Amino acid sequence: MSDGVRLIVFGRQGAGKGTQCVRLAERYGVPHISTGDMLRAAAAEGTEFGLRAKEFMDAGQLLPDDIMLGVIEERLGRPDAAQGWLLDGFPRTPGQAEGLMSLLGDSGADLAIDLDVPEDVVVGRISARRVCSGCGAIYSLAAPPAQGWTCDKCGADVVQRADDTEESVRTRLAAYNEQTAPLLAWFGERDMLVTVDGVGDPDEIAARIGAAVDARLG
């Protein structure tokens, strides 16, 4: 498979999407464009749509689709994205997907990848997560700090975040499922969706995704 893929990646919280996005970007030599990072960078750089986005973000409001699409158009217009990209965190609705495809024009997108991890597995992963209250280092019940629940790196307390409890995680996942199911159906109806098993060793999962992408795009 040659470089130059244009991929959109979906996955529940805790599915390992971030890890796999980094590997995919390296495999195909394209930038990993995370919506959150992109918005913060656009706001910091003072681009036209970045400044408009900052007003909404500072007010704690959701960004209108036209501003989101404007920020994405700015980002995809940069030289590093000329040969392809990996989009993570957008679109979130069928309407946004239609807007994105209109923006992309003839080049479009190649595939949408759904990294599928069962909800109970994701809940187990996230509810077992522990975070350093000082430096933010990540641990888990299965891989705790070396000496009690103090951070190996900075010595601060390692705690469970309030939004990592099982109840909170299931609430977030329910919202994700409700929001994303119509979006996955949208891409599926256009024969653009590939679902990949996201359970197992990260290297094995990366190989599965790469094989699925290469098989479709050849």
Is 78 among the residues known to form the active site?
no
**60 compared with 140, residue with greater pLDDT:** 140
Annotated catalytic residue 161:
yes
Q: What is the extent of the structural domain holding 145? A: 6-29+112-217
Is 36 a residue whose pLDDT tops 90? no
Indicate whether 20 belongs to any domain: yes
On the question of pLDDT at 37 being above 70, the answer is yes
Helices (H) and strands (E) in the chain, counts: 8, 8
Catalytic residue among 6, 17, 52, 130: 17
Phi-psi region of 105 (alpha: psi -120 to 50; beta: other; left: phi over 0): left
Instruction: Find the catalytic residue in 6, 12, 54, 161.
Output: 161
Is residue 97 assigned to a domain?
Answer: no
Residue 125 appears among annotated catalytic residues: no
For residue range 71-81, what is the model confidence (pLDDT) as tens digits? Answer: 999 999 999 99
What's the total number of domains in the chain? Answer: 1
| Best CA proximity match to 196, nearest among 3, 1, 5, 24 | 24
Q: What is the pLDDT of residue 2?
A: 42
Structure confidence by residue, pLDDT tens digits, 85-108: 999 999 989 999 999 999 999 889
Selected catalytic residue, list 40, 129, 208, 216: 129
Residue 92 appears among annotated catalytic residues:
yes
Active site residue 129: yes
Q: What is the CATH number of the domain that holds 127?
A: 3.40.50.300
